[in-house]
Structure 1
């Protein structure tokens, strides 16, 4: 879509704080990106190859890792390139593309986490009906929805942003986000702001309701169950709860550093707050699931230790991690 804006590049001024330690920042972010790639590909590869892992929960875990790779790739290659750039600029189309990928990453992440909470709810509250409620054909449709819905839903806000004219070009950030870019516009942004505010409700509320409903029902069942059943339910929910908490922390940090004046904070703290959302969920989620779920942990350890042992076959049926 054509954009008649006088501004053709966006200056990301937050990079100037890295000038004294460019090699250090570059090395740290490169190591983090390589770690995310290796973790995500290893987890997805094990889930694809091991037939014992061809179950709803594991397919959702694999998609969570794929989305983390998608989100981190929207940020880190451009970040690594900009660290050693003298201008610290992104072309306006590249900035807008980064906005689309980062925002859709966030929506996909929450949608997958909501689907995973429903999966745990069915597995714990209706274990005998689990296979009937969550057949693989339905799971495949659910996974397609978790990707297509965010990619299409964000288009409304994104198209409105594309039609804006920009008279300023400086963002005090390390990457482009929609809210910050809109503030640089000299066009009337009232429609973008209204639609953007309403879209937050559409993007977040259904998923939030699903997560809360699922865990309320799980807690209700646990209250009526034996101590052993409660511990078993806790074990199967712990990885998902950690992933939700990790995502929520990232959301809080992103909102705090985007909407409030944090100029009093040290530069390194602001960098940590701004990048947590796009680095720590992708790097921690594969570790959380890879270490806490034995069915995934054993094949992964065999992979990294270059052993040819096959993990013990698990009994068919519903498997609580």
Structure 2
């Protein structure tokens, strides 16, 4: 099975194997060697990188592969730091620029630093021309030379003065003093204010006490609750779940990575009419094999894909899903896929004359 442009099932298997957390390092290397021109994103967003898997690619002769590693979302800062000695200036530039903060914000609630602090110093030692890149990297604050101007404070800080109409779907700029105030009485007045602008703004205030967080978590305005969830670690888990299910923007991906997002008890959503709710069931450590099997037959493709990648899926059902093109990639990413299957796919997809063939 030589991988070709019309070999959809083979491409799906390789894409899934490139994400599989249990793939042996040398098999991962062989996939990269033979198919790096058609498979890039699986390496960028695979969620588990063992030391051996990272090492198998860190010295790859193709500079593009090392660039992908520098950009990969889930390698550890210590693993990525290995690349500071890379001979290619473009790899060093990527490290100096840091990871895409928008992608990280979508992918995880609190993105970790891309590199240890010492690694930025080493980058500058090796290549002084990287300083402008480091100045734009929020993970390298020791090199940030530009100071952002402080916001101009509004003259009117009286919560009672806010009486202009705002619709529930209307976007409004934050009231800066409400976002930054530390005064307990002002926090209380804003949280209890009938005006959406003040409640939305104070929901972002990091000084909110637990009682006001609980109050705003039940607010009638969706934007108030969304901003609260995006700004605070100790939001009630059920409030997070409610906001997640109501959200229609990319912010709901971020909420799944919130430290307070519920895990246990989500199996109860298996019968929900909302596919976004059913897709959460695989996050529940107590969800049984029978539930996962049922979700693997769900009419919604996202729900089926989540179930296909779940290690609680039976071997029999996993085998069936590997032959189903709609979920073949997540099925191949399932950690229960046998090494024998991995070796066969990599061997049969190898280009003629390659060491993998």
Please report the TM-score for the alignment, with normalisation by the length of structure 1. Answer: 0.25
Which has the larger share of helix? 1
Q: Which has the higher contact order (CA 8 A, sep 6+)?
A: 1
- Structure showing greater radius of gyration is 2
TM-score normalised per structure 2: 0.23
